[in-house]
Amino acid sequence: MTPRFSTEHEAGGLATPEVREPKRYKVLLHNDDYTTMEFVVGVLTLIFRKTYDEAVAIMLSVHEKGIGVCGVYTEEIAETKVSQVHTEARKAGYPLRCSMEEE
């Protein structure tokens, strides 16, 4: 049996499907006393596809303010980026922290 879907609104008109944009998440890098600035710039260019100048600006924000925004993504992409940062940092022996928060 084929399921039946109604396209009429209660008032008798056609229903307009509600389309929502996916939630967006900021990916954040956190400052620490061990991870080198050069490594952070490398992560930003490799994982976040930032230009060298953009990467340096974000790295300086992390260094001076304690945190920096790497980009804004959908949930799955943000989770992947956070995981990639942690993987690269651990391979290199750094405690670099990365997190995400809803925009």
Q: What type of residue sits at position 54? A: E
State how far Cα 93 lies from the chain centre: 23
Q: What type of residue sits at position 31? A: N
Inform me whether the pLDDT recorded for 85 exceeds 60.
Answer: yes
Query: CA-to-CA distance for 15 and 41, rounded, in angstroms?
Result: 50
Q: Which domains does the chain have, with CATH numbers?
A: 35-102 (3.30.1390.10)
Is this prediction's pTM over 0.85?
no
Query: CA-to-CA distance for 28 and 100, rounded, in angstroms?
Result: 6
Tell me the pLDDT tens digit for each residue of 12-69.
567 778 899 999 999 999 999 999 999 999 999 999 999 999 999 999 999 999 999 9
Is residue 71 helix, strand or coil?
A: strand
| Closest to 58 in 3D by CA, of 40, 46, 32 | 40
**Residue 16 gets which letter from DSSP?**
P
